[in-house]
Structure 1
Amino acid sequence: MYVLTSGCAWRHLPPTFGTSFATAHRRFTVWTEVGLWRRLHRAVLDELGVRGELDWTSEIVESASVRAKRKDR
């Protein structure tokens, strides 16, 4: 998550993370392939929904996860 939110290259991960950049990248790739991020996101939404803490009055759609549709001209 640090790489995605900071824009940092994998090889510049802080040494305080306690793992090599190669290991961190490999784990991220495996977790992505097995759908961990999708399941984690869903679990957070489910928990917030149970608590009544979701506010759907506004939403943000990010183009990295939702394909933009081309308008016909």
Structure 2
Amino acid sequence: MAQPIKTGGKVEPLRKTRPCPECGKPSARDHYPFCSDRCRTLDLSRWLKGSYAIPVAEDETKAEPSDDERRDG
């Protein structure tokens, strides 16, 4: 059976509001962690265009194949 609804209790938000990573306004629950659909779309657009990149430190020893790898492959 369903439990009765308690009244008078304090309701707390699911997440703390944080500044929007795009514009700095407080984030909205519907668009978390962004404040609006516009900021969310801007961020997605930057990822898709390649504006954001995860830096990779390449190992110089593996950049060029060794003499053994050249003979084998």
TM-score by length of 2: 0.28
From the two aligned structures, give the one with the greater helix fraction. 1
Which gives a bigger RCO, structure 1 or 2 (Cα 8 Å, sep 6+)? 2
